[in-house]
């Protein structure tokens, strides 16, 4: 009886998944689509589904697909209507010609952010070992040189460490719903702390609640000998190493290899786009943004949010009896939809997300909402 009940439940779940995916089909979709090299699961779903983050439902409705992330070029996606039963979506695997399956999202766009950026608390960063000096009394460190490090503690010969430099501080304000991200000045590695914000760009220095500090991995070194200071050999670096740069353990598995897009259970009222990566004013699809929510808010990898630009505040001069402009009642316009962002890496209070699609540029301060 239990086996029959489980079989019935499984059948119902597949039926529900088929209906859910089919009900969201875009009008004018073709009957079939052949998966091509260069496709991503998100891109395919965005062509045929009104809600592309629901693409896992398509694969769940296809029991012949053992792994939803192993979809290969040449596979045939059938989008059809069964007489009397409504819409149906099936995927027919073909003989594998291309060995590499198509990814869910373009991971190659994220390598820098997946491997080389981390978010730490100020306390953890202050406690981290730091570079004191370099071999042969040099002022800067380059690959092949010795680093003399304080605060490393016990280590084993050959143990690897990442050399990091703080790049940005994230803050929230109790009286303001909008969090801010302030870049740190160029000499941050020379400053023991607190981390100096670049006051040329803002007036937030020392204000608000600090929710994290972004650090960038700029090199790798391995332990050789000594205790305090310890001697390490710098193996590789993307920048010259300076006194004050910090060391952290190497994270062998810093990110997930696969992502399942899904809607969050809820969205904090003050959730926003906190900062832009490699951009000053705005980013578009495939751009990376920092979000003001993290693991402590229930965020996990794959969560998808709708992005809205806050509505502007205007004066209602039409209803005003004055002949002057800009003196009428202030009215806040509704937020405008911008696009979708999917989380790919999370920390305690900050997350990184990839902008998946959009109709307008994404800016720092934009709102996060449920993807409905």
Q: Give me the pLDDT at residue 162, please.
A: 94
Residue 154 structural domain: 112-249
Q: Give me the pLDDT at residue 21, please.
A: 42
Alpha-carbon gap, residue 264 to 268, rounded angstroms:
10
pTM over 0.85, yes/no: no
329 and 242 part of one domain: no
119 and 161 part of one domain: yes
Q: What is the 8-class DSSP label of residue 27?
A: T
Does residue 143 lie within any of the structural domains? yes
Does residue 264 lie within any of the structural domains? no
93 and 19 part of one domain: yes
Q: Give me the pLDDT at residue 270, please.
A: 86
Decide which of 215, 234, 249 is a domain's last residue: 249
Does residue 211 sit in helix, strand or coil?
Answer: strand
Q: Give me the pLDDT at residue 144, please.
A: 93
What's the total number of domains in the chain?
3
Decide which of 57, 72, 104 is a domain's last residue: 104
Question: Which contacts qualify for 236-241: CB closer than 8 Å, 24 or more apart?
Answer: 236/143, 237/141, 237/142, 237/143, 237/163, 239/165, 240/140, 240/141, 240/142, 241/131, 241/134, 241/140, 241/141, 241/142, 241/147, 241/163
**What CATH number does the domain containing 296 carry?**
2.40.10
CA atoms within a 13 Å half-sphere pointing along the CA-CB vector of 125: 28
65 and 167 part of one domain: no
61 and 87 part of one domain: yes
Q: Give me the pLDDT at residue 23, please.
A: 43
Q: Give me the pLDDT at residue 272, please.
A: 92
Does residue 229 lie within any of the structural domains? yes
Does residue 29 lie within any of the structural domains? yes
Q: Do 164 and 246 contact (CB within 8 A), yes or no?
A: yes
Does residue 254 lie within any of the structural domains? no
Q: Structure tokens of 226?
A: 């000594």
100 and 116 part of one domain: no
Q: Give me the pLDDT at residue 209, please.
A: 76
Q: Give me the pLDDT at residue 178, please.
A: 59
Does residue 260 lie within any of the structural domains? no
First to last CA, the chain: 39
Decide which of 55, 81, 104 is a domain's last residue: 104
171 and 94 part of one domain: no
Q: What pLDDT tens digit does each residue of the chain (372 aa) get? A: 433 333 333 333 333 334 444 446 777 777 778 888 878 777 777 777 777 777 666 666 655 555 655 677 888 877 765 444 444 566 666 656 666 777 666 666 666 666 688 898 888 888 999 999 999 888 888 999 999 999 998 899 999 999 999 888 888 765 455 567 777 765 665 555 555 555 544 555 556 678 888 888 999 999 999 988 999 999 999 889 999 899 999 877 666 667 778 889 999 988 999 888 877 788 888 888 999 999 999 999 889 999 999 988 888 888 777 777 777 888 989 999 999 999 988 999 999 998 988 889 999 889 999 987
Does residue 266 lie within any of the structural domains? no
149 and 180 part of one domain: yes
Please report the beta strands in the chain, taking only residues with DSSP state E, as ranges in sequence order.
32-34, 76-82, 86-92, 117-120, 130-134, 146-150, 160-173, 176-183, 209-226, 230-237, 246-249, 273-276, 288-291, 304-309, 313-316, 329-332, 336-346, 351-358, 367-369
277 and 293 part of one domain: yes
Q: Give me the pLDDT at residue 130, please.
A: 93
298 and 239 part of one domain: no
116 and 238 part of one domain: yes
Does residue 263 lie within any of the structural domains? no
Q: Give me the pLDDT at residue 205, please.
A: 55
83 and 124 part of one domain: no
């Amino acid at each position: 009886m239990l086996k029959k009940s489980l079989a019935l439940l499984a059948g119902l779940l597949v039926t529900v998944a088929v209906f859910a995916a089919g009900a969201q089909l875009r009008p004018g979709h073709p009957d079939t689509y052949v998966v091509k090299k260069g496709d991503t699961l998100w891109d395919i779903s965005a062509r045929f589904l009104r809600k592309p983050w629901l693409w896992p439902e398509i694969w769940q409705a296809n029991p012949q697909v053992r792994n939803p992330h192993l979809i290969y070029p040449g596979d045939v996606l059938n989008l059809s209507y069964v007489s009397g039963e409504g819409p149906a979506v099936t995927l027919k695997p073909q003989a594998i010609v291309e060995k590499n399956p198509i990814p869910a999202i373009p991971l190659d766009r994220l390598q820098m952010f997946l491997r080389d950026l981390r978010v730490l608390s100020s306390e953890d960063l202050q406690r981290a070992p730091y570079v004191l000096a370099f071999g042969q009394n040099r002022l800067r460190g380059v690959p092949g040189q010795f680093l003399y490090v304080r605060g490393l503690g016990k280590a084993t010969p050959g143990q690897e460490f990442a050399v990091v430099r703080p790049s940005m501080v994230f803050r929230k304000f109790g009286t303001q719903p909008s969090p801010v991200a302030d870049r740190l000045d160029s000499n941050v590695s020379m400053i023991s702390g607190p981390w100096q914000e670049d006051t040329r760009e803002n007036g937030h220095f020392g204000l608000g609640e600090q929710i994290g500090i972004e650090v960038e991995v700029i090199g790798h070194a391995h332990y050789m000998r000594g205790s305090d200071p310890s001697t390490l050999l710098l193996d590789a670096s993307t920048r010259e190493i300076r006194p004050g740069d910090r060391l952290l353990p190497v994270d062998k598995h810093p990110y997930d290899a696969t992502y399942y897009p899904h809607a969050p259970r809820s969205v904090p009222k003050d959730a926003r786009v906190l900062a832009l990566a490699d951009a000053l004013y705005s980013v578009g699809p495939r751009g990376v943004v920092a979000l003001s929510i993290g693991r402590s808010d229930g965020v996990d990898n794959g969560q998808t949010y709708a992005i809205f630009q806050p509505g502007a505040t205007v004066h209602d001069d039409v209803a005003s009896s004055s002949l002057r402009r800009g003196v009428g009642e202030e009215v806040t316009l509704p937020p405008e939809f911008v696009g979708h962002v999917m989380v790919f890496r999370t920390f305690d209070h900050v997350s990184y997300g990839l902008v998946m699609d959009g109709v307008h540029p994404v800016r720092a301060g934009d709102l996060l909402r449920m993807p409905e």
